[in-house]
Structure formats: C-alpha cells, structure tokens
Amino acid sequence: MLDTAQNRPDLPPEIARRRTFAIISHPDAGKTTLTEKFLLFGGAIQMAGQVRAKGEARRTRSDFMQMEKDRGISVSASAMSFDFKEFRFNLVDTPGHSDFSEDTYRTLTAVDAAVMVIDGAKGVESQTRKLFEVCRLRDLPILTFCNKMDRESRDVFEIIDEIQENLAIDVTPASWPIGQGRDFLGCYDILRDRLELMDRADRNKVAESIEINGLDDPKLAEHVPAALLAQLREELEMARELLPKLNPQAVLEGHMTPIWFGSAINSFGVKELMNGIGLYGPEPQIQSATPREILPEESKVSGFVFKVQANMDPKHRDRVAFVRMASGHFKRGMKLTHVRSKKPMAISNPVLFLASDRELAEEAWAGDIIGIPNHGQLRIGDTLTEGEALRVTGIPSFAPELLQGVRAGDPMKSKHLEKALMQFAEEGAAKVFKPSIGSGFIVGVVGQLQFEVLASRIEMEYGLPVRFEASQFTSARWVNGDRVAVDKFVTANKQHIAHDHDGDIVYLTRLQWDIDRIERDHPEVKLTATKEMM
Ligand code: G4P
C-alpha cells in the first residue's frame, strides 16, 4: 500500500495511486508553465516548449480562434495522464478565459482536487477567487503553489494571510523561500527537512537537494549566506508560532491548504509540489449519484460525461465525450449501458490523452479520464454503467446571462444552422432556445466572447456565415412544476415560451419584474436558473 495520508485506505492499489486534479489560477500566474513542467517530470514530454505555444495562443481572441481551428491540440490538452513516482496523475485542463465559467465548473466536477497557482507578486486575484469558490462548493482539497519567486514578490506572511482571509481556508507552509527576487536562493522544505537550491543557469534542471538535520545543522551555513540564514531561522520560528501545522485530514476535507513556493519557469519547487499531490492529494473519491452513490472500488465499471468536444475533424462530424471513470476497471471493447437511453454501447475506441498524443486506452481505472468518440449519443451529464440505472448528480447547467438572436446569412440555410446550433448546445458551448412563436433561434451564453467564438466555429465547421443580433429577451428560466399547471402557464404566456435543445420548457423575458411576479402569482410553477444535466 502507498504510504500516504488518505481517507479511503482500502482502495485497490491501481485506484489508490491515481490523483485526478485540475489547476486553477488567474491568467498569467503560470498555469501553462507549471503544466509543462508536470509533463516534463512525468516523462510525458521530452522538452520544455511544447505546451507553451498553446498557452500563448490563449491570450488573444484571434489566436484563440487559431487554436480552436487546431482542435486536435485543444482536445489532447483537455486531459493529460502521466506517471510520477508510484502515482498516476490525471490533469484535467480548465478553460482559461473567464467567459467559460460553466465549462470550468463542469470540469471541476470531474476532479478530486485542485492545484491553485498564484503569482507571488500579485497574491489572490479575481479569477483565482472565483474558481476557488467553485471548488469550495464541493469541498475539493486544494494544494497551493506560489509561483514566480525568482522575481520580486510580496512578503510570505502577507501572501499567506491574504489567502487565509480572502478565501477562508487555513494555510500551512510546506516550504519556505530563502531570499527574494534576485537574491532568491531556493526553499527550505519544511515537510522533509531539506534545503532545495535553485539553478538559474538551466531552467529545466531540477534543484539541488541537500538533506539537513534541523535548522541548526552547520551544513545550512555552507549554502546560505549568514544574513539570509538568520532571516530564515527567524521567519520559520514565527511561522511555527503563527501558522497551523500540516494536518493531512484537514487538507483532504478542504479546510486547509499546504503552500509550496517556487518558480515554475525555473523548474523550481515543482517536484516538491508533485510529491505533495501524491502524498496529500486525495485518491479517487466517492461519486454522488442517484439512487445511490458510487464507490470507486466497486468491481462494476461506471463513469460520467463531463465534457463533449465536437468537430475535431470537420470532415467527419465526430465528437469526443470526456468520461471520468467513477468505479471499477474498464477494459477496451466493454459494453456499457448508456443510462439515459437504456441502450448498450460498445466502447471499442476509447482514447487516453498523453500530452500531445492520444492513444487507444486498453484499460482505465476509477479516477481516469477517457475520451469516447461517438456520433452525438453521449451528452454532458450522461452516466455509463454495466447495467444499473445510476445517474451521477451535481453537473449543473446554468441559465445564460446574455441572450442574442441568430440568423444564417443565407436564409435558405436555416436548417443547417439549426443542426449546428444543436450540436454546440449538446457540447455545452451555448444554450439554444427555439421560441414557440416565430422563426429563428435565441442563443444564450455566459460571456460575450462566446458569441464570437460560436460565430467563427459555425462558419469554420459548417461553412455557414451567421449574424448575431439583439434579442428582445435578456433572461431565461427553466419552467418546472405540476404538468397541468405548466401547460396552463405555457398557453397563457406563449410569446415568452421557448424550448431548449433537450425539449425542456424555458421562459424568456427582459424583466426581472416578470420573474418575480410569476413567482408570486403562480406558486404552482417553478422558474429555475439552473437545471441538472441528464
Ligand atoms: P498562464 O498559463 O497562467 O496564463 O501563465 P503562463 O504559464 O503562460 O505564464 C505567464 C507568464 O509568466 C509567461 O511569461 C511565463 O514565462 C511567466 N512565468 C511563468 N512562471 C514563471 C516563473 O516562475 N518566474 C518568472 N519570472 N516568470 C514566470 P510571458 O512573458 O508572458 O511569456 P514568455 O515570453 O516567457 O514565454
């Protein structure tokens, strides 16, 4: 058995060694750089630089489109598997832009932990805070990496305080930086009593690691100048008094985050962080589902779709459904039941994502992410099992915040447009509503950029120029309740009613007042801003 602190100690070893996590950060904090170093030390890439190009491509809209054109790359980057020591890491990518928050939310339903990267000069930034809140909703364990310590950074106590106060989580230092900016030497590894020295000459070289016998070890003075050493001793003394000690259980429960200091670009602190993910990150966890939860160690295989990516190859309208395995030991060729349609599906070409390559997944264990190519049967929120009618819960769909009408540039092509829109709706890239009166569609998104990306994808993937235009509606709510009451409501409000791509009834309006009025006057119907995907 692995010597780790865990809350599920009886898992089969193959499952117990899996760590499935995402990285959350504000743009520019160093997520791409850190990902690349993970892959490098995980043996998944040979050379730094392979992932960088992609990170840069994220920055501007036009480059983003370019990246979207190259769907192959963005698909491989959605999930990456690699080994580190005795562990198998599954790193799931979260979309970088804040406009894609719903996608991010769903991605975080597929992981057991998150690594939060912050910039040592900037501390907790807006996007970090938002993503953190999403993790908090699920009590996801969080490990923190404070990056860019090779540059001028903020005071360490100040950074830790900020995280504790802003995010309301206990912070315990796993390492402590020695010196700052140009004088940054490396870190004292508090968990393992080692001195880690940074090599500025070779960015891909792993730090020199020196075993130390406590803070009074004379070896320290051989490597650390007297002034810095005195400061280190003083700060560690203070840290010991002021900050909580590492409590692995509190980490697993999401109440405490260990923090490592480092410099991703200099490969510094990255291996210590990876060790930390292995030792203190959670094993595959129990999955909430109805009518019962799913334990990873169950012998029967199950999994759920948390992301769908369409049109990877525009010539064949194929899609890849990303499935998080929730239990069991999957083998290629297995027949699984698609619970929503109750139909069997032979999973003959599942793929595993290894950095820039995809390869056939001969097997997968609970915790792994596999891609299943399909023709549209698999949708976000779908559950696959060996026959039992289980449905994974907690994968929401949010009401969009921006609505626009959409028309095909060529009116003869509106059937094509419908097909394209439905495909994007299934992929989760947008909400598509068909009003019950009149023609045309209303598209709903969370951020403005999504309209532009959609227009460009519809043109690129379907050869169909489209126009988005202002809609008379600004809000959408799903309509639920007793069938007779809902029917009556629909008849009385025809000009506000539309259907989403699943055929569910939606109420569209431009006035919050309308929504409040309906809630007051029609308690028998419920208007909701989220619906669970199934
Ligand atoms: P992101 O994915 O979170 O957006 O961040 P990314 O890794 O792309 O890093 C953002 C910028 O920060 C990049 O600089 C990157 O080189 C730099 N960076 C990452 N880690 C470190 C670090 O440990 N120390 C320092 N000093 N810089 C770091 P850039 O100028 O935007 O790109 P480039 O010209 O370096 O490629």
- Residue 264 Cα to ligand 1 midpoint, Å, equals 8
Residue 330: CB atoms within 10 Å: 25
Q: How far apart are CA 469 and CA 462, in angstroms?
A: 20
The reported pLDDT for the residue numbered 151 is: 95
Split at pLDDT 50, 70, 90, the class of 368 is very high
The reported pLDDT for the residue numbered 123 is: 95
Q: pLDDT tens digit string along 375-405? A: 888 988 999 999 999 999 988 777 788 999 9
- Residue 37 Cα to ligand 1 midpoint, Å, equals 12
Q: pLDDT tens digit string along 137-146? A: 889 999 999 9
Residue 368 in contact with residue 20, Cβ under 8 Å? yes
CA dihedral 455, 461, 464, 465 (to 10 degrees): 30
Ligand 1 neighbours by CB, cut-off 6 Å: 25, 27-33, 52, 55, 147-148, 150-151, 263-266
Written as one string, the DSSP assignment of 23-83 is EEE-TTSSHHHHHHHHHHHTTS-SSTTTTHHHHHHTSSHHHHHHHHHSHHHHHHTTEEEEE
Q: Which amino acid is residue 261, in one-letter code? A: F
- Rg of the chain's alpha carbons, rounded to an integer? 25
pLDDT surpasses 70 at 2: no
- Residue 30 Cα to ligand 1 midpoint, Å, equals 5
- In eight-state DSSP terms, residue 484 is H
Q: State the alpha helices, DSSP H only, in 254-332.
A: 270-280
Q: pLDDT tens digit string along 469-486? A: 999 999 999 999 999 999
Assessment of whether the complete model's pTM goes beyond 0.90: no
Q: Is the dihedral of CA 105, 111, 113, 119 positive or negative?
A: negative
Q: pLDDT tens digit string along 245-266? A: 999 999 999 999 999 999 999 9
The reported pLDDT for the residue numbered 319 is: 82
Q: How far is CA 97 from CA 35, 90, 420, in A?
A: 17, 22, 23
Residue 430 in contact with residue 398, Cβ under 8 Å? no
Split at pLDDT 50, 70, 90, the class of 313 is low
CA 126 to chain centre: 17
